[in-house]
Amino acid sequence: MEEEKVFDLEDLTMDAMFDYQQSLAFSVTAKGTLMTLRSQAQLLGAAKGLTRFLKKMDYLIHDPGEKIKPPKKPKTLPRSILSASDIRKLLNVPDMQTHGGFRNRLILEILYDTAIRRDELSNIMLTRLDLESGFIHITGKGSKDRVVPLSRRVCGLAKSYILSVRPAFIRNEDTGHLILNRWGRRMGGLGIWRVVKACAAGIEKNITPHGLRHTCATHMLKNGAPVRHLQEMLGHESLESTQIYTRVTISDLKVIHEKYHPSESL
């Protein structure tokens, strides 16, 4: 504010706020690096909170920070997209002859088949499953419900698990959740993450539950799935969040380019 010669409240204009935002974008930390977007957003949030308060208390006629938008984290391409062979290798890791292995296989299958989040899988109740029609009712972010399809093959696996495997995990009281831990309680998101990481130990890729979500979306898009339908399945509010997967297929263009472009043979 001293640099902008702002010494009175009436001098606090939108231009001054924009200049402040720009100065943050080029601020250098004590380590000699540019200030992170998160730190910029925090400082801008404090400044916007001040101007909003000043307007509310009638110290200012207009809020000069109202139109200032905090910097958004740039959309990055999903990493560690698995190939079909990687998926087959991963699914074959759990020992289906044991109760724990059968359950872990079902965890991997559902994550890849539906692209749901690990916490969404953790919260699935038996009453939310329709294995005859092949659907799961999911409660996602913001307590928003959606319905995702489940393939016939995975439905069959889920039926076998519910009838023959899941009862072995029940201890005193049945919580009604689909995925149970060794104590008979709902397996939390962290437990599901650990199952995926343990199964992926022998594969040279960073495989996580969210990575399986990315992989499912990418594979469906490559096979011609409409982006709008994919958006509904993933539970994205904005189409922009789903469209990021369209950029993942650029890697395929490189292969096609090398194979068919005459430049490669000049």
For residue 141, indicate whether it is catalytic: yes
For residue 117, indicate whether it is catalytic: yes
From the candidates 48, 99, 105, 117, give the one annotated as an active-site residue. 117
CA distance linking residue 5 with residue 11, whole number of Å? 8
The total of other beta-carbon atoms located within 10 Å of residue 124's CB is: 22
User: Are 28 and 35 contacting, i.e. CB atoms less than 8 angstroms apart?
Assistant: yes
**Helix residue ranges, H only, the chain:** 14-25, 37-56, 84-91, 99-114, 118-122, 152-160, 189-199, 209-222, 227-234, 239-248, 250-260
CA 218 to chain centre: 13
Q: Please, which residues have CB within 8 angstroms of residue 201's CB and are 6 or more apart in sequence?
A: none
From the candidates 48, 177, 213, 214, give the one annotated as an active-site residue. 213
CA distance linking residue 69 with residue 216, whole number of Å? 33
For residue 219, indicate whether it is catalytic: no
CA distance linking residue 265 with residue 195, whole number of Å? 47
CA 88 to chain centre: 23
For residue 210, indicate whether it is catalytic: yes
Catalytic annotation, residues: 117, 141, 210, 213, 236, 245
